[in-house]
Every structure is written in C-alpha cells, then in structure tokens.
Amino acid sequence: MILDGKCPKGPIQTSWDRHRFDLKLVNPANKRKYKVLVVGTGLAGGAAAASLGELGYNVEAFCYQDSARRAHSIAAQGGINAAKNYPNDGDSIYRLFYDTIKGGDFRAREADVWRLAQVSNNIIDQCVAQGVPFARDYAGYLDNRSFGGAQVSRTFYARGQTGQQLLLGAYSALSRQVKAGSVKLFARTEMLDLVVVDGEAKGITVRDLITGEIRTHVGDAVVLATGGYVNVFYLSTNAMGCSVTANWRAHKKGAFFANPCYTQIHPTCIPQSGDHQSKLTLMSESLRNDGRCWAPKKKGDNRHPNDIPEEERDYYLERKYPSFGNLAPRDIASRAAKEQCDDGRGVGPGGRGVNLDFSAAIKRVGEHTIRERYGNLFEMYEKITDENAYKQPMRMYPAPHYSMGGLWVDYNCESNVPGLFVLGEANFSVHGANRLGASALMQGLADGYFVIPYTIANYLAKTKPGLVSADHPECKKSVEDVKAYNNRLLNINGKKTVSEFHRELGKIMWENVGMARSEESLKDAIKRIPVLREEFWQNVKVTGKGEELNQQLENAGRVADFLEFGELMAKDALHRNESCGGHFRVEHQMPDGEAKRDDENYCYVGAWEFKGVDKEPELHKEPLTFENVHLAVRSYK
C-alpha cells in the first residue's frame, strides 16, 4: 500500500496556516462531550493534555510514574531550538527547517518539518509565560547557545536542565487543568492495550500499577505520547521504565510502525564501567561547545591523558569536519568516536572511550566560566566516575539515546488507525534518520501545544461523542486478553530473570543493530531474537501475583514487547539497503566513511504492518518528495 501523509499542497510557507483553516472545528459547547485519552505526560503528552483540557475537552491523562512531572523529558539537558534569530546571526524559519531536513539526512516530510520550525517561536513565548526560568543575559534578554548541526545560535536553555524546566512548565499547565476539573490524572497506570472498535481507536486497557487492577478507559480519541524505544538496547540513556509497550500494543492492533531502524546513538555519554551497569548517563551535547574530542594518535596508548603531548593527540572531529568541528551532528560524531575505538585508539577501561577535553576552554575563559556553564554536568560526571573533569579530560562513548522512528502518522499526527494520534518521540515524523540536538524538546512541545489541539478537532468533528461504552464487547475482550497475557507471564516460573533476558537482547541489538549494521549482522539478529523470545516464554521467572504492586510483572511485559519489536527493528534495518543518518550500513559508505544514501530506491518512509508474532510484517511505503530543499549529499566538512 502507498501511504498518504495528507500534507497540504502549494507553497510551504503558508502550508500550516492554510491547513489550519481547512481543519474542521468542534463547537465550544460540544467540546466537553468528547473524551480524549492521553497516554504519557512528558512534553508532548503533558502539553497536549493541558491544552486539550483548556479547550474544554474532557481529558484523561495516564502515566506509569507516580507523578506526571517525572516523564523522561525531564532528563533532557542542553536546550530547545527556536528560529527567533535573537542573536541576529542569520537564523530564520527557513534555516531551521533546512537544518532539520538536512540533519535528518533527507528522510523526513518537508511539510511537518516546516510546521515545526514555524511554531518553534511560539513555544519559547509559551514557556516564558509559564514561568520557565530560561537563561538571560545581563540586560534581561533571553540567552542562546550553539548546538550540533547548526551554524547559528538558536538554542534556548535553562542551565543544564532545560528538559526539566520545560516539563515542569507543561506539568504546571496540566496541574492547573486538573484543579479545574478538565483533566483527570491517572498516575502509576500503564497502558497495555488499545481498544479498536469498528476500525477506530476508542479506548485503552490499563493496569493500575498499585492494585494490579486491569480496566478499560473508553474515549472518543486516543493520543499516544509514550516516548521512544531505545531501551531495546538494554543500556541506553532512557529511564528504566521507558519502553515500546504502548506503541507496540497499538501496533499489534493495526497501527503501522515507521522507520524503526532509525535510532540515535548519542556521542557523549559516560562509558560503561562494568557488567553490573543498568543504564548509561548522557552528558549534554552543549559540552561540545567548549570541549574538544580527541583520541591518542598511537594505538593502545595507556598514558594518562594529561601526559600525552599535543602533537600526539588526534582532534579527529576538527580534522575531519573543519567547518563544523566539534559541533558535527550526533550520528557523525558517534561514528567518528567508534572509528577511533575500533582502530585501537580508545581510552579508558576496555578502550571504549574518547577524550572530551576542556583544558583549552579553561585556559581561554577560565575555570569559573566553565563551571558556570556546565557545573552540574561536571559534578554528575565526578559522582559517577570519581574523576575531576576540570583537571583531566572526560571520557566519552556513544550510547543509544533517541528513536527517530515510531508509529506512522499523517500530517495531522493521526496514525492509520482513525482516532489514534501519536505525538513526540513516539511518532516518526520530523527528525528523519537523525535528530539534531535540542530538537526533541521542540517537537514534543510543538505537537502538544500547537498541533494536536487543532488537528484532533478535525477527527472529533466527524464522530459522535460517546459512541463506545465501557461494557462494549471489545473492551471486555481487551481486558480478558491482557489478563491472560499477564497470567501467562506469571505462570512460566522458569529459571532466568527478566533482566537477564533484557541484557541478552540488548547485547544482540547493540552488536548487530547498533551503530554499524551489515547484512550479515542483521540476519544474525533476525535469527537469534526469535530464539531468545522462545526461551523467554519458556524460561522466564516472574515472581508475585498480578493483583498487587509487582515490578517484575511490569518489566516482564515490557521486555516481552522488546523481544518482538527488536526483530522488526532488525528487519527494517535489513530492508533499508542504504546508509542514512543514524542508520549506518557498512556496505554503503563513501570512501571517507560517510553514510551513503540511495535516494533512488529508499527515499520513502517504511511503515510496517503487524501480521502476527513469528509472521512476516508487511511493508507499506510513503514516498518522500522534496520540493523546497534539494536532495544533496549531507556535508559538514
């Protein structure tokens, strides 16, 4: 099937404005008759729930954490992009649009990206009005910093905690609606199934994580803002609870999964210290503003980094990409780091690390200024590694960080299942094959504050409110299915723990479907994942009962989904016989090791339809057309 993204035609500059005019509206008096279920309360979900509640819809919001404020958006450090051009350095909506398309290696929809760039400016205003304490200069104006993949300073920030501050802004708006009674919040509640009635999304089945109760919530539309799936690698920068579960269960109910192979490996994370490790910690990309990446020129150089003289250091990013230097985009910086380590020139335990050196910056602007800019990051680094980065370089290694792929949506953020909307990292729409730094926060808030409030009305205006009630046979079936699934997990009573399976899956994924993929490695993964999945269903041990707080059961369900999803991810990576952005196939590279796209054959979105576990998924394509930017070889040299 050829998918239609339903993008507005005509000049892109006015596309969103024209589209907004064409969208249907719901009369203010009728809004309260519609119930919208919002799953996830991060930037996208929190902003959506708050905005929809404010418009007058009856909103129910769900999160697995004990508070909406703890969604993983909170961990974003560096900043949020906007095309304000406050520094007068040549930024514009067009430039942000162009940088994002190019950064994504020409694998995103033009119209969606244009809209993102256009509303980026409103986001900053909105957050300022909410009391988000963005950094200011001494005159009281908003301050900007530079970020990877751009030659202008367009990143707004709040110390090293921009994600936290933006999320707390959205959370405060959400709290206001909870008080007003327009939003009902269900914390510690995990979505485990999508209820589809007559082909349209009409509810979700959830598990109350405290009591273990399984129940269905019905609504007139469902909004998924449930984040990304890079925990499929086991070790990633995601929170422990981040999973593909909500998306995967929706996928199993008919929603197409687009571009699952596009995963972002972030270049600057603290290297793994041992097998006991449960997660990896990211160090903001903003560090590359002042930090210089280098590896020793000599292989296996075990000297203390401070003892390696200048001429024996390879500042590889500056050497390879003179115009962007240390601010090369993430996929490029990550691969470059891996190259150094594969070449035997890595530093630290196991040789999996490169140096991020601040000594030049400290000499230039003084330790005090560096402390002011990144103090909390240096502090965090010291807590984890016991090393003082003011005195010696940080050690960094790439780690899975973000998923550009996600559920397929059209221009209205609506999936192929009518009534199911997908926002933020959970959808696939704007980042193409690679996301630029400080763009995830922008997308989450754009979708939540400024897209879904308009586009959901277009769907709701066409449906009658309250069509499905909680005693509908589909709801009952969904509850029964979820109960049966959980009971199956609880009754295996095997010998291996859930984490052991997760670790094994992560190892397969990281080695075969990680930063560099080959036909051979992918085929190996596709062979091994079903075997591991089979073993999981025979031999996993989940203690406790379903009708109580049971963290093992929660994890088991999430890992079970990753065991199915991982296979799809490998299949997508195998089918995409090109390199682009975060998807790097070793067979397809330029002589200098850069990703080599195949625009003739792969300039499309690959959206997969679920046909059953252990059955081949079906690929649907949405061709990508570029009318406003020229398809070109991405160069940061």
Distances from the Cα of 167 to the Cα of 37, 78, 82, 454, 589, angstroms: 19, 14, 17, 21, 39
Query: Residue 446 and residue 459: Cα distance in Å, rounded?
Result: 19
Q: Which is nearer to another protein, 339 or 500 (CB)?
A: 500
- Residue 355's H or E segment, with its range, is strand 354-357
In the Cβ-directed half-sphere of 231, how many Cα atoms lie within 13 Å?
23
Question: Shortest distance, CB of residue 479 to another protein, whole angstroms?
Answer: 23
- Tell me if residue 107 is catalytic: no
Question: Shortest distance, CB of residue 355 to another protein, whole angstroms?
Answer: 19
Query: Residue 105 and residue 332: Cα distance in Å, rounded?
Result: 11
Nearest to 224 by CA among 16, 66, 49, 54: 49
Contacts of 342 (CB under 8 A, 6+ apart): none
Q: Which is nearer to another protein, 228 or 260 (CB)?
A: 228
Query: Residue 335 and residue 142: Cα distance in Å, rounded?
Result: 34
Q: Which residues of 193-221 are buried (b: 16+ CB within 10 A; e: fewer)?
A: bbbbbeebbbbbbbbbbeebebbbbbbbb
Query: Residue 546 and residue 209: Cα distance in Å, rounded?
Result: 9
Query: Residue 418 and residue 142: Cα distance in Å, rounded?
Result: 41
Question: Shortest distance, CB of residue 179 to another protein, whole angstroms?
Answer: 4
Q: Which is nearer to another protein, 276 or 615 (CB)?
A: 276
Q: Which is nearer to another protein, 84 or 102 (CB)?
A: 84
Residue type, 213: E
Question: Shortest distance, CB of residue 444 to another protein, whole angstroms?
Answer: 14
Which of helix, strand or coil describes residue 138?
coil
Q: Which is nearer to another protein, 458 or 499 (CB)?
A: 499
> Taking the CB of residue 479, how many other CB atoms lie within 10 A of it?
20
Nearest to 485 by CA among 544, 543, 537, 550: 537
Contacts of 422 (CB under 8 A, 6+ apart): 223, 224, 225, 247, 250, 255, 406, 407, 409, 413, 414, 415
Q: Which is nearer to another protein, 394 or 479 (CB)?
A: 394
Residue tagged active-site, from 95, 154, 330, 597: 330
Q: Which is nearer to another protein, 384 or 484 (CB)?
A: 384
Question: Shortest distance, CB of residue 620 to another protein, whole angstroms?
Answer: 34
Question: Shortest distance, CB of residue 365 to another protein, whole angstroms?
Answer: 18
Question: Shortest distance, CB of residue 320 to another protein, whole angstroms?
Answer: 30
| CB 123 within 8 Å of CB 449 | yes
Residues labelled as active-site residues? 330
